[in-house]
Structure 1
Amino acid sequence: MHNPTSTLPATAARQSFSKKLLKWGGIVFLTLVLLAGLLVSAFYWTALRTEQPVGFQAVRAVDANGKPFGLGIWYPTTAATSASWTGSFLMQVATNGPIAGTSLPLVVISHGTGGGIPSHADLAMALAAAGYVVAAPMHSDNYLDTSSVGTPAYFTGRSQQLRSTIDFMLSQWPGHAQVDANRVGAYGFSIGAFTVLTAAGAKPDLRGLAKYCTDHSEFACDMLRQSNSFLLGTDLPAGFDHFAQDQRIKAIVVAAPGLGFTFSGKDALANVNAPLQLWQGDKDINVPDATNAKVIRDALADRVEFHSVPNAAHLSFLVPCGVLKMLPVCTDPAGFDRQQFHDTMNPLVVAFFTKQLAQP
């Protein structure tokens, strides 16, 4: 005959196990909540901030061919700010806040290959806090899609897109009446530096790229080979090396300029009349100084304000990473403090634009 009491020990054991499971489950849950809270707090306390309030808008513009592209815009405001997520870090900004001021100077920012609108967000915020309107286009070779690398869109298309950005900011942006069309500057990093220089009047020798890349080992050449660029062939399309100068650009800052070797021709930089501030990391193996930044320095001589950055690599010019320092784009040489460097560089860039774009 079955004895009901014989099941009591098993039942008690199951109940005890369930209690322990609930207890440990609760501990694990609370631990995860605590860790999530700490992570959120870390993101918040490392958010990009400025002493003066900065507004931010994400909008869409169109290029000369009617193709839309994203545009990030920072500007001075009087509105209260809050933390805004950019995808990998937070900015303390007033999203879509009102624009403060009149006759504001404009700076456009051209990111590097695989970058995007937030690539130089800390510099953009520093400029906006100092009274600038800053516009950063999402070029067609961005972190979401690099398929345009090596195509005409990677060269003349970028330059045209920068011009379209200025067009939009001076005529279509809702706050365009508060922007001074006579005070326009441009900042470019890596291929973005090439973009800014060509928009400012530089004429690169793209026809000689195939031979150069045969004779030299350069990161840019590796990228062109990987993308099967038309430039490494013999069938070159008409107009592929036609760059229209934008006379509205009155001052330029370039960092770690990519494809600098294409400006080695005698008259390649002859039409660049805007004053130029040039930055180069002395540990940059992607864009070595000797074949890139030095070419520009030698051609423009005393017209260049040059800054060599000790122990800086190519990616050291990108926005400081906050808590996500494990990401590949956050890698710097041992002992290099990216945040400390940007705390030094950004005020010098602001001061340069302020001097060169001063109202008459």
Structure 2
Amino acid sequence: MVDAGGERSAGFRDIYVDDHVQGARMLVRLLYPTRESAAPHAFGPFMADVAIDAAIDGDALRLVVVSHGTGGTPWTHRDLALHLARGGFVVALVQHPGNHRGDDSLANSAINLQNRPRHVRLAIDAAFADEIVGAQLVEGVAMIGHSLGGYTALAIAGGIPSSFPNESPSGVGGALEVEHDDRVCALVLLAPATVWFMAEGALQDVHGVPILMRTGDKDSHADASQARVVERGLPDATLLDHVVVPGAGHYSFLSAYPEDMKSGAIPPSQDPAGFDRAAYLPLLFDEITAFLHELDQEVGVAEEQPAEQISRLERELRDAPDAAWRYFPLLGAFCAREFENDPRRLQHILAALRLDPRDGLVRTPLAHVDPHRSPEAFNAIEREWLELRAAYPRDAEIARGLALFVANQSISRAVAILEDALTLAPDDHGLWVDLGRHCADDPPKQLAAFREALRVGSTQPNLMVWIGRAAYKAGELDEVQRIGETLRARVADAEAVEDPRIDWTATGIHSWRRLRRVIEGAPDRSRIVHLVSDHANDKHWSHTFLGLVAEASGDLDAASTHLRESARVIGEPRLASYGPSLALATALCKAEQWPAVADFLRACSDIWDDEPLDAWIGDVEAKRVPDSWTDEG
């Protein structure tokens, strides 16, 4: 029976895999997305709503292998597996022979440490060969491991473990040969047991693998030292996203136990006093899901080549020629260098312009051409804009579109078009904003335009910053001070918002990615994104502006403090893409405040991944102002 509501359920099937090395048969449970209706089924003492042997829904699906802890059961991860399957992943729950709840005969042995990674490799092989799910899987496997399952994940991803003397019949420990699998391209480590990787270089071959790690600060089994093994052992710590969960214990990452099984005699059913496992797990599941989706964007299915993408998008456009939104991805595809002068690009730009000249797309670089490299195309599009401007002289959006287009040829022409339009629409804030942006070489005029945009009600999120920058260039330090204080007040207002998902002291781009994972799917996701993003920008620019005023007044200590604080922000997209302001850093270089500027640049490397940073740090440490810096920042 197909689920008429359209929601995905979790399909389920058992497969058995022979491990000829161990001489054992391994049970692997596959869960996957399906449109068929699920029903409750008992798996030992645990219940799960699944559709047995149902048809799979979707293609190009990611395989996620889950490895349980020592003496455990894969069903302690049932809620995570169900969540992922309903969300479009194929999950393989591995039951490790000789180290699960029903047969724990190999616990605490070196042979078990060698068996476990091989079990995972065999499970991956079996999933790809499975008649239901195999054909729908993409290359690249994610691995989730709890406790000894975390060891298993690190081992198969390239880790070289060493056993202890008590784990071998000979009483001699040492490096173990384990199977590695290059198909494993991402790890989720939950309270991982890592003591077998303490040898120098044990994790050096776990490279290029993003890792999400969650540990509990009240874990009495895998304490903080085991997390440090991962943090210190990886060749690239920037690929590690580690959060210590306040109040969590070793088993707080497992599905909650039925009420009649919650007992001190069953340690996995227990949490430290005050920790709410039921409240935490949905947040964890959302983090893991977002992490895996991010993996699909970074290392997932091979990207479509531009020519293939253009052909597909043109076919889709022919099926719906009046769908203006289809031009956005199509014109984006034509931005590939080999297609930017393709004659089809001109025809699509003209078609989009004729379909809706007020659409924001036609005011972006996607619909612009270089007048010097493609003069004929430029002239053809300009003629279309001029005809529209003549037909609709009072239409501010068309005036803005024409001005933005001709600015590629002549800034003065663009300014004249905007000023002419403002005589007919003096309260149009978009015209004032665009006029200000085109007057960068005339700071007083730029400042006046931005002030007028604010007066008539512009909600442009960067407008206050633009006013502050224009005021600084125009020499109006009182206005710079006022803008800095205004932004500082907005920072305080934001920090007054109490939300357990937001850490107002967080810094760096990894903190931003972590937040996005935490709020993935939340109904207020957009509000949180804007709140935290604006807070970061306001904090950076408030310190920048107040520091510029302090430097101008001779208070170099205060200016240096502001500079350092301006980089202590979360790495949200605007700062990560465009980088921080260098205006205050430039001013303090000229004032020979080299240590403060070096500290600032090093902090910037956590929010802005840009090649010149290392060279700039070298210049500043040598007491030189980097050549590319300007007072405008």
Amino acid in structure 1 at the alignment position of 2:293? T
User: Where does the alignment leave 5 or more consecutive residues of structure 2 unmatched?
Assistant: 1-6, 304-633
| Residue identity opposite 1:55 in structure 2 | G
Which residue number in structure 1 is paired with residue 316 of structure 2? Answer: none
Among 287, 297, 301, the alignment partner of 2:231 is: 297
State the 1:71 CA deviation. Answer: 0.9
1:283 and 1:142 map into 2 onto residues whose CA distance is 25
1:287 to 193, 201, 222: 222
Match in the other structure for 2:15: 59
Residue type matched to 2:275 in 1?
Answer: F
Per the alignment, residue 271 of structure 2 pairs with: 332
Give the match for residue 20 of structure 1.
Answer: none
State the distance in 2 between where 1:183 and 1:241 align. Answer: 25
Partner of 2:37: 80
1:265 aligns with 2:199: yes
**Secondary structure, counterpart of 1:102 in structure 2:** coil
Aligned AA for 2:241? E
Instruction: Check whether the contact 2:66–2:144 (CA below 8 A) recurs between aligned residues.
Output: yes
Q: Which amino acid aligns with 2:247?
A: N
Query: Which residue in the other structure is 1:23 paired with?
Result: none
| Distance across 2 between alignment mates of 1:183 and 1:125 | 20
Q: Choose between structure 1 and 2 for higher RCO, CA contacts under 8 A separated by at least 6 residues.
A: 1
Q: 5 Å matches for 1:230-241?
A: 230=168, 233-234=171-172, 241=176
Q: Aligned residue for 2:108?
A: 150
Return closer, same or farther for 1:104/1:305 CA change in 2, 3 Å cut-off.
Answer: same
8 Å contact from structure 2 (residues 9, 36) kept in 1: yes
Superposed CA offset, 1:209-252 (max 9, x none):
24xxxxxxxxxxxxx6xxxx317813x69xx7102220001111
Give the structure-2-normalised TM-score.
Answer: 0.43
Change in Cα spacing, 1:174 to 1:345, as seen in structure 2 (3 Å) is: same
Say which is worse superposed, 167-176 or 131-140, in terms of deviation. 167-176
The Cα offsets for residues 83-138 of structure 1, whole Å up to 9 and x where unpaired, read as 11121221111122111111111000000011122121111111111100000111
What's the % identity of the aligned pairs? Answer: 31
Post-superposition offset of 1:299: 2.4
Deviation at 1:170, TM superposition (A): 0.9
How many angstroms apart in 2 are the aligned matches of 1:303 and 1:64? 35
- Give the match for residue 121 of structure 1: 78
RMSD of equivalent CA atoms: 2.0
- Greater helix fraction, Structure 1 or Structure 2: 2
- Is the 1:80–1:94 contact (alpha carbons within 8 Å) kept by the matching residues of 2? yes
Query: Which residue does 2:183 correspond to in 1?
Result: 248
Q: How many residues align?
A: 286
State the secondary structure of the residue aligned to 1:314.
coil
CA distance in 2, matches of 1:150, 1:357: 36
Residue in 2 that maps onto 1:176: 134
Counterpart CA distance in 1 for 2:285 and 2:57 is: 22
| 1:1-360 paired onto structure 2 within 5 Å | 52-65=8-21, 67-140=24-97, 141-180=99-138, 182-206=139-163, 209-210=164-165, 229-230=167-168, 233-234=171-172, 241-258=176-193, 260-273=194-207, 274-290=209-225, 292-300=226-234, 301-327=237-263, 328=266, 329-358=268-297, 359=301, 360=303
**Structure 1: which 5+ residue stretches go unaligned?**
1-50, 211-223
- C-alpha distance 68-173 of structure 1, shift in aligned 2 (>3 A): farther
* Structure 2: distance between partners of 1:343 and 1:62: 35
Structure of greater Rg: 2
**Distance across 1 between alignment mates of 2:258 and 2:92:** 23
Q: Please tell me whether the aligned partners of residues 71 and 117 of structure 1 are also in contact (alpha carbons under 8 angstroms).
A: no
CA distance in 1, matches of 2:131, 2:171: 41
Give CA deviations for 1:298-327 in whole Å, capped at 9, x if unaligned: 223222100111111111111112433524
Matched with 1:218 is none
> Could you list the per-position Cα deviations for residues 184-230 of structure 1 after superposition, in whole angstroms to 9, with x for gaps in the alignment?
11000111110110000011232xx24xxxxxxxxxxxxx6xxxx31
**Shift of residue 64 of structure 1?**
4.4
Pair 163,307 (structure 1): closer, same or farther in 2 beyond 3 Å: same
